[in-house]
A and B are shown apart, each in its own frame.
Chain A
Amino acid sequence: MSLRAEHLTLRYDDRVVVDGLSVRLPAGRITAIVGPNACGKSTLLRGLGRLIAPAAGRVLLEETDVRDLPARELARRLGMLPQTPVAPEGITVADLVERGRSPHQGWFGGRTAADDAAVARAMTATGVLELAARPVDELSGGQRQRVWIAMILAQDTPTLLLDEPTTYLDMAHAVEVLDLLVDRNLGEGTTVAVVLHDLDLAARYADHLVALRDGAVVAEGTPAEVVTEATVERVFGIPARVVPDPVSGTPLVVPVGRHRVAPVPPGFASEADLREVVDEPHPLAVAKVGDRVDPTAAEFVAAAPLVVLASGRTDGGMDVSPRGDAAGFVRVLDDGRRLALPERPGNRRIDTLRNVVERPGTGLLFLVPGVTHVLRVSGRARVVDDPDVLGLWEDPPPLALVVDVEDCFVHCSRALTRAGLWTDATPATEVPGTKALAEAAVAAREDT
């Protein structure tokens, strides 16, 4: 069932926590709501579950305003686990899980076979069946959380809302709880919304992410769309690296604090660093050197651990979109008339790269840390899965970008010289200077 908020405003007394927010939980998907402390994510979840009446706006469950549904009816369609439910002293696991069935029972509580079956199913799914007769307050934190989840699974609703179900759990139990939610989502097509503290688990387990800050949606979309270095910094106010999760391929956030930061390889840092390096259109100071990547230019390319998209914006700025890898990851083919770039998981900018390469006036900028001149290559690009091309690398990538070189330029970059980050770095190897590049280009032109 789809659940959405329209211009929802929620407040406690006079304090507005969520202000005119609109958000949609896709039906049959897992949505994670993330954000810093006190950003209103729990409040939003409470608003969606009708635990707080909206000050303005509305919440729609399948196009019905939740306020128009009787409480019991809503509880049959929407299950919610608050952050700190209370287990009454001495209550047994089976008794607690059975209470999840109360929306399906009348006030005088006729227990039916369907109730029993749902309880048994929920307890089996969460692995708490053998704890049935144990008092809940004797269980470990992980077991207790499984019992609570069993309770809302027994409620048997097509939509589930959970407020930080993993907060007090160690990582094994946190992963287990999220796996349970995925089981339910896949098994019954349940729509799940979960407030999570752990951005990495959110990115791994959610189909859809909603990032909040100060009660407003900052970003919304797939984890790959939402979890970028720029968004993380905007939402949490801390610089971070985003790398592919080696287990799931989803984005993994590595925050950068003030201490305990290992010296980074020269110049090769985050996107934010690169913006500092290349934050304006390059002064096009040096002439075109050739229509292909000649051997001297290929030397430069081989030394470059970074390729940057440099497309001038109309406002005079520059769109920077870095792809980086070990030096020499770009292959020069066909005597310098073609270049091949590997496309690996977690670095999904290949389409942007292609589009930009084909736009006039832009190109691939090859950067060598510590070296303030850059090589720009423009041409036409296409994405290939040709095994011959993919086999150029020792660990073949799933896809590659092949650029038919049209022009090749050398630039002296004032932008780079202004960035301490760049000029402080020492080049890993000797690279050809501007003069050598220009002379080689002239020589190459005369040859043909």
Chain B
Amino acid sequence: MTETRSAAPPDGTAALAALQEARARSRRRVGLAGAGLAAAVVLVFLATVSLGDYPIPPGDLLASLVGAGPARVEFVVTRLRLPRALAGLAVGAALGLAGALFQRLLRNPLASPDVIGVGAGASAAAVTAFTLFGLSGFGVSGAAVVGAAATAALIVVLARRGSGGGGLHGVRFVLIGVGIGSALLAVVSWLMTTASLTTAQQTLLWLTGSLNGVTWAGVTPLLVAVAVLVPLALVAARALPRLELGDEAAAALGLPVERARLALLAVGVLLVASAVAVAGPVSFVALVSGPVAVRLAGPGRASLPHAALVGAVLVLVADLVARHLLGEVPLPVGVVTGVVGAPYLLWLLARARTRGAS
């Protein structure tokens, strides 16, 4: 090493060239991964719309999407399948992005909102809303948002207490979140036992995470929320490259650490809540998307949009599998994501232990 350094001390231009070359390489990878994922999303989306008991040939499909198809086809596409496909897209994107935000913000691959109880908070509030108060639609959505936000606030307050007034510590945050999540799931179970059989059955379906029976009325607020929150998240995420270096290093680089972190938490919580309000807590999407995106796009700042795309692909594919490949009865999408996600969580825990639980 000493030899290479003393042999040819690179001059300014050579150094610049080397730097730009490295940057171009990572940018190529980010671009390729993004293009590939976007193409995958489009493909799966189209497949979701065209496959089913009444298959639609690609020509008719494209025509009906621009409003020029046969009336029958158009009814199936726009009334029945499009809301579901869009919901899958938006739920996946919201969960994927929120998961990646939480994981990077708390510097812990376990710190996704479904693991740390934010999802459980939304569920508990939503279940309360429709079992105890008989609410539906906007009422349930509102309850989910309030529940998620309240849970996140509680975790933040508890995690900060006793950490010596310092910043939020990743492991501490995760442990407190897991604890609160378990408590909230107990609340959900209790509500289920007190509810009538029909309500309980509906609730159970919702709790597994399901896109069954999503209508335009349900998906429109979600689409609006995602359209607003995703750009906000990407703006707030400008703080991540500094926040990731640790609170002190981030502050030394001129970042208002507390404000940036609160903004990111808030956007992440709202994303989770809006997804959960529509589809229930679809498990593991938030946990898996971020790491997959990093694998594809390379480490560093650029992989957040990728996480959203990965989430969308995951939910849409899982929904396809749940509906068409697992027998006659259409299963809720959460069953499939759970089957894929649970082994990943186990692997993550095993690895964390061998690495000394960082």
Contacts and interface: CB of A to CB of B under 8 A. Distances in A.
Interface stretch (B17-25, B133-141, B151-159, B323-331): B17-25
Interface stretch (A2-10, A70-78, A356-364, A426-434): A70-78
B15 A124 contact: yes
Interface stretch (B237-245, B281-289, B311-319): B237-245
Contacts of B9: 124
B16 A88 contact: no
B288 to A, nearest CB: 16
Interface in A45-100: 46, 49-51, 71-76, 78-82, 84-92, 94-96, 99-100
Nearest to B9: A124
Contact of B254 (A13, A72, A121, A152): A72
A49 B252 contact: yes
B72 interface: no
B356 interface: no
Given A79-B252, A88-B104, A95-B26, A135 B299 contact: yes
CB-CB nearest 6 A-B residue pairs: A75-B254, A90-B299, A82-B248, A120-B15, A80-B252, A72-B254
A190 to B, nearest CB: 15
B172 interface: no
- Count chain A CB atoms within 10 A of each CB in B12, B252, B256 and give the residue with the most: B252
Given A95-B26, A99-B241, A124-B9, A85 B249 contact: yes
Interface string B1-13: 0001100011010
A87 B245 contact: yes
B252 A120 contact: no
Nearest to A88: B244
Contact of A86 (B107, B165, B253, B298): B107
A84 B107 CA distance: 14
Contacts of B249: 80-82, 85-86
Per DSSP, chain B at the interface is: helix
A78 B12 CA distance: 25
A99 B254 CA distance: 11
Contact of A123 (B19, B20, B25, B246): B19
B300 interface: yes
A86 B254 contact: no
Nearest to A152: B252
A130 B6 CA distance: 12
A127 B256 contact: no
Interface residues of B, number: 38
A116 B301 contact: no
B251 interface: yes
Interface of A: 12-13, 46, 49-51, 71-76, 78-82, 84-92, 94-96, 99-100, 102-103, 107-109, 116-117, 119-121, 123-124, 127, 129-130, 132-133, 135, 152, 155
B253 A99 contact: yes
Contacts of A88: 104, 107, 244-245, 299-300
Contacts of A130: 4-5, 18
A127 B5 contact: yes
B242 A85 contact: no
B90 to A, nearest CB: 25
Contacts of B127: none
A283 B244 CA distance: 70
B252 A92 contact: no
Nearest to B15: A120
B77 interface: no
Given A13-B164, A92-B26, A99-B245, 12 more contacts: A75-B253, A80-B248, A80-B252, A91-B244, A92-B300, A94-B19, A94-B23, A99-B241, A100-B253, A103-B254, A123-B19, A129-B18
25 contacts: A50-B251, A51-B248, A71-B254, A73-B254, A76-B254, A80-B252, A81-B252, A82-B248, A85-B248, A86-B245, A86-B249, A90-B300, A95-B301, A99-B245, A102-B241, A102-B255, A103-B254, A107-B235, A116-B20, A124-B9, A129-B10, A129-B15, A129-B18, A132-B19, A133-B25
Given A75-B253, A124-B10, A116 B248 contact: no
A84 B241 contact: no
B256 A71 contact: yes
Nearest to A105: B238
Nearest to A128: B5
A95 to B, nearest CB: 5
A78 B253 CA distance: 9
B294 interface: yes
Given A75-B252, A127-B5, A12 B164 contact: yes
Nearest to A73: B254
A104 to B, nearest CB: 9
Contacts of A76: 254
A51 B252 contact: yes
A80 B251 CA distance: 9
Contact of A13 (B22, B165, B251, B294): B165
A235 B4 CA distance: 43
Contacts of B241: 99, 102
Given A92-B300, A95-B300, A12 B12 contact: no
B162 to A, nearest CB: 10
A51 B252 CA distance: 7
Contacts of B246: 82, 84-86
A188 to B, nearest CB: 16
Given A88-B107, A91-B300, A116 B19 contact: yes
Nearest to A95: B300
A71 B251 contact: yes
Nearest to B254: A75
B299 A89 contact: yes
A86 B19 contact: no
Contacts of B26: 92, 95
A109 B107 contact: no
Interface string B255-274: 11000000000000000000
Nearest to B242: A102
A18 to B, nearest CB: 16
B245 A116 contact: no
- Count chain A CB atoms within 10 A of each CB in B16, B238, B245, B256 and give the residue with the most: B245
A385 to B, nearest CB: 40
A50 B255 CA distance: 12
A102 B241 CA distance: 9
A85 B242 CA distance: 11
A51 B245 contact: no
A247 B104 CA distance: 47
A127 B15 CA distance: 11
A12 B163 CA distance: 11
A11 to B, nearest CB: 10
Contacts of A81: 249, 252
Contacts of A99: 241-242, 245, 253
- Count chain A CB atoms within 10 A of each CB in B18, B22, B26, B254 and give the residue with the most: B254
A107 B248 contact: no
A293 to B, nearest CB: 57
